[in-house]
């Protein structure tokens, strides 16, 4: 094949790939609605994690909770 034919074929393949990927991720929602859904999902995941930590910590004494939060490498939510 000639170089121009190969370049044209590669361009068509790239366009098809982009269209397939766009079709698989596209929604009928406007951008701000998609962003809202994403934010709600992120908050829900965060809230579930906080509730799991609260449940896990509910059996700890006050001293054990403080020790867990102040150990090296510990992280907690503000």
**What residues does each domain of the chain span?**
3-70
pLDDT band at 78 (very low <50, low <70, confident <90, very high): very low
Using the CB atoms, write b or e for 15-42: b if 16+ within 10 Å: eeeeeeeeeeeeeeeeeeeeeeeeeeee
Quickly tell me which residue has 């370049």 as its tokens.
7
Question: What distance in Å separates the CA atoms of residue 68 and residue 58, rounded to the nearest whole number?
Answer: 13
pLDDT of residue 71: 85
pLDDT of residue 67: 87
Quickly tell me which residue has 């094949």 as its tokens.
1
Instruction: Name residues whose C-beta falls within 8 Å of residue 65's C-beta, 6 or more positions apart in sequence.
Output: 57
pLDDT of residue 63: 92
What is the rounded average pLDDT of the residues 55-67? 88
pLDDT of 70 > 80? The answer is yes
């Amino acid at each position: 094949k000639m170089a121009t034919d190969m370049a044209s074929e590669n361009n068509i393949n790239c366009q098809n790939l982009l269209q397939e990927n766009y079709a698989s991720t596209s929604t009928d929602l406007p951008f701000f609605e998609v962003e809202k859904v994403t934010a709600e999902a992120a908050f829900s995941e965060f809230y579930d994690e906080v509730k799991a930590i609260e449940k896990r910590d509910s059996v700890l004494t006050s001293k054990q909770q403080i020790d867990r939060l102040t150990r090296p490498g510990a992280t907690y939510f503000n």
